[in-house]
Structure 1
C-alpha cells in the first residue's frame, strides 16, 4: 500500500455560508456519508498561506514574535502570510512576506513542505518554503501596522528551536513543522534534494 494523501470529494446535498469575514468565511455543507446518511459539517474557508523558514549561513533561523489574539499568546513564528490574490504564485507571496516582515531577501528558494493546518475544521493549505543565501533587502522598510507593529525579530540556532518544540515551549504550526522538516531533510537526502520553489501545489493551483 502506498502511503499518500489522495484528492476525493463526497457528495454535497446543500451548502450555505452563514458568515463572511474580512479574510475568511464559514461554510456549512450537508455531506453524504458512505452509508447514505447526510451529516452537517461546518468549516472555515481560507485563501491559503505561505511561510518561510529562512536559514542563514550560521545555521540560524529567522523568527518573529507576534501577538495572536485567538490563542492569547505571543508566539515565536517564521515569516508567513495569506495568499491574498486568487491564483497568486506562492513563491512571489513568500518573497513578499520575507521582505515585509523581516526586510530580508534570499537567493535560494525551495519547497520545504506542504500542509493542511487543521483539516477537520478549516480548508487552509500552507506551503512552507526554505530560503537560503540571505541578505538585507534594498529600499525602504515596509510600514507595519496593528499586531505587526509590536513584532520582535531574532535569529535562533536550529537546535534551540528543536528543543523548544519538543519541550512544549514553541507552538506555532508553521515553525514546528518547518523546523522538524528541516532536520528531516538535512538527515535525509539533503537540502539540495528538496522540491524546486515552483513545484506544483494541487491544493492551491497557480500560474508560474
Structure 2
C-alpha cells in the first residue's frame, strides 16, 4: 500500500511498509533490505572444511563461520561472488561447485537470503586482503564431522554456517546431491541493489 524509507546505508536500508494483510486489515512492517550474500563450504581432499573465526559486533564476540560475503550489485552471479570471497577470505580456489542451500536469514524483518555452495577440488591462491574485517580473519580447518558436532554443540551459531555444514554433511554422506552451481535463485534480494 505504501512505503517510507527510514535509513539507507552502505549495506542495508530500513523501510516501513503499510501492507494489506492476508486476513484483512492493514499493518505496519519494518523491512531491512539487504544485498544478499554467498557462503562457501570449502572441503579439501581429506574431508576437512575451512572455517573462519571472525568478530561480529552485534553479538560482541568472535563466531565460527564459513567464508562468505555480500553479492555485489550489477551482473555478478552468486557463483562469481562465491569464487571471489573464497579467494579473498581464505586464499583458495575450487574446481567443483554445487549449490547446497538458500537461507532466508530472518524473513520476519529482512529480505536477506544467503546462497551456500559446496566447493571441492581446492587449490591455494594469493589472498588479497580487502579491508579491516578480512585482515582480522583467522582461518582453521576442521574435519567436516567435527564441524557438524560444533553446530550441534552450539559452538557454531551463524545461520548460513549451520545450514551449510549440515547440508554439506548430507551431500558428502550420500543423502542428497545438491543443485547445479548456477541453479535459479528466485529469492535473491534485488530491492537494495536497485536503489
Task: Provide the TM-score with structure 1 as the length reference.
Answer: 0.86
Contact 1:17 1:28 (C-alpha < 8 Å) held by counterparts: yes
After superposing on structure 2, the runs of 4+ consecutive aligned residues of structure 1 that deviate more than 6 Å are none
1:201 aligns with 2:182: no
* Match in the other structure for 2:193: none
- The offset of 1:160, in angstroms, is 1.1
- The offset of 1:86, in angstroms, is 3.2
Q: Structure 1 CA distance, aligned partners of 2:17 and 2:165?
A: 35
1:98 aligns with 2:86: yes
1:116 aligns with 2:100: no
Greater relative CO (CA pairs within 8 A, separation 6+): 2
Deviation track 1:100-141 (CA, whole Å, cap 9, x = no partner) reads 00110000001011110100011001110000010111xx43
* Match in the other structure for 2:172: 186
Moved more, 176-185 or 55-64: 176-185
User: What SS does the aligned partner of 1:119 have?
Assistant: coil
User: What SS does the aligned partner of 2:156 have?
Assistant: coil
State the number of aligned residues.
190
Q: Structure 2 CA distance, aligned partners of 1:101 and 1:146?
A: 12
Deviation track 1:48-72 (CA, whole Å, cap 9, x = no partner) reads 1001000001010011111011111
Task: Provide the TM-score with structure 2 as the length reference.
Answer: 0.92
Determine which structure has more spread, i.e. the larger CA radius of gyration.
1
Q: Structure 2 CA distance, aligned partners of 1:69 and 1:15?
A: 29
User: Once superposed, what is the RMSD of the aligned Cα atoms?
Assistant: 1.6
1:55 pairs with one of 43, 46, 49? 43
- The offset of 1:79, in angstroms, is 0.5
* Match in the other structure for 1:136: 124
Q: Structure 2 CA distance, aligned partners of 1:166 and 1:79?
A: 20
